[in-house]
Amino acid sequence: MKAITKRFVADESGATAIEYGLVAAMMGIAVVTIFTAFKDKLSLAFGTMGDALQTQASNIK
């Protein structure tokens, strides 16, 4: 039983997958936090770009 416990404690094969999962989760949380914090500014920026693109597209016709 001691040998099985020692092998289990020493086994790090799943650690990498868990670490990648934690990093991905932290990045996701950061992206959501940033988008939430800058929601109004991002909306204004994309709206401005959309209006400019529509203006240029109407000039092409």
Q: In the chain, what are the domain boundaries?
A: 2-60
What value, to the nearest 5°, has the Cα angle with vertex 37 and ends 31 and 38?
Answer: 90
For residue 61, what pLDDT is reported?
66
Tell me the pLDDT of the chain (61 aa) as tens digits.
Answer: 888 887 877 776 667 888 899 999 999 999 999 999 999 999 999 999 999 999 999 988 6
Are the CB atoms for 52 and 45 separated by under 8 Å?
no
Residue 23 phi/psi, 5-degree rounding, is -65, -45
Strands (E) in 1-61, as ranges, are: none
Are the CB atoms for 46 and 39 separated by under 8 Å?
no
Model's pTM, two decimal places? 0.53
